[in-house]
Every structure is written in structure tokens, then in C-alpha cells.
Amino acid sequence: MKVPNLEPKLPISIEMHLSGLGCLQMKTKFDIPRRKLRPVQSCGAELVEMALVLPVLLTLLIGVFWAARAYNIYETITRAAREGARVAVAPSCSACGGAVPGVGTVEDAVLNSLTASSMDTANITIPGGCGGNLSSKICYLRDVKLNAGPPSEFGTVVGLTYPFSFTLPFVNVGTINITTKVQMRQE
């Protein structure tokens, strides 16, 4: 027995069977198609695609990591040079008549800042184009004219170079020298 009022509105049909206790059964009108199986020829294609794409993605990921590390080193050596320039322009004592700190004091400020950041201070070199250098470890120039026009401002320039070994899988980039130079006006 079919219930005529519900059948057009619902995607099911209700049938009553008079066998036994007379219970109602519900059946769906639509047959759900089963998922078709893939052809045998495409089995393992995803594995081959992954084998081709995964090394490229990992190389890019590792490259981003090493580029971030290079930027971190640049910021660290710039901060160390800024610390050395700050020490160089500040008078060492007011009772001494405004005497400027010695070369060793400026070198120590730069090297201590790099040591605090766990960087190897033995790898530091003097950048090229540092004429009239006062130091043997960093580029340290005192009484440098900082501007072209009047009034003339003089200051200190501190610079250094740090080598960075940029390594990527499957690519030999080599060593990159990261250079920074900081100038600060004399107080």
C-alpha cells in the first residue's frame, strides 16, 4: 500500500507489506551511483608527481630559511656596528675635556655585541673601500665629513663584513659576504 499524499513531495516511497505484522518500509527513489574506479594506468601517478614536486618545494622552503638567516646576520652586524659608532661618538668622560674613546674601546664594543649574539668574531673582515682605517679588525674612521653642504657635520663611520655560507640542496650558492656600514654624527 502506498501513501499518495507524501510520495510527490519526498524522495522516498513508503510501502506497507502485509506479510507478518504489517510494518512500513521506506525506500529511496534515487539510486546513488557507486564511485567509478580509476583506470589501472593512472595508479601511482600521484606518487610520481610528488617525487617531482617535493624536492622543489623543500628547496624553496630551505631557501626561505637561509635567506631569513642571512637577513638576521645582516641586522646583527648592523646593530653591532651601530653600537661601535655610538661608543665612538660619545665622549669617554666629562672631566677629560671631551676626549673620544680609543680604537680598542670601539673594537671591543663591536666584538662584544657580536659575541652576545653568538656570532664568530674571528670571521669578521674589513670591507673594501675603507681608506684611512684606524682599526685592524673593523672599518673605523673618525672625523669624517658626513654632509656636503654647510653647516658641515663630522662623525664616525664603523663598518664590517661577515661571510655567510648560503647552502641549498641541489644548488651550490657558495659564500656571500654581508657588509654593513654605519655613520653617526659627532656629539
Rounded Cα gap, residues 111 and 36, in angstroms: 69
pLDDT confidence band for 79 (50 / 70 / 90): very high
Rounded Cα gap, residues 117 and 21, in angstroms: 85
pLDDT confidence band for 26 (50 / 70 / 90): low
Q: For the residues 99-120, what does the mean pLDDT come to?
A: 90
The secondary structure of 11-51 as a DSSP string is SEEEEE--STT--EEEEESSPPPPPPPPPGGGTTHHHHHHH
- Express each pLDDT in 118-133 by its tens digit: 999 999 999 888 887 7
Least confident of 21-30, 66-75, 173-182: 21-30
First to last CA, the chain: 103
Asked if 161 and 124 touch (Cβ cutoff 8 Å), the reply is: yes
Q: For the residues 1-28, what does the mean pLDDT come to?
A: 54
- Express each pLDDT in 128-172 by its tens digit: 888 877 788 899 988 888 888 888 888 899 999 999 988 877 777
What pLDDT does residue 109 have? 93
Rounded Cα gap, residues 148 and 94, in angstroms: 30
Rounded Cα gap, residues 88 and 76, in angstroms: 18
- pLDDT of 173 strictly over 90: no
Is pTM beyond 0.85 here?
no
Q: Where are the domains of the chain?
A: 61-185
Name the residue with cell 659575541. Answer: 115
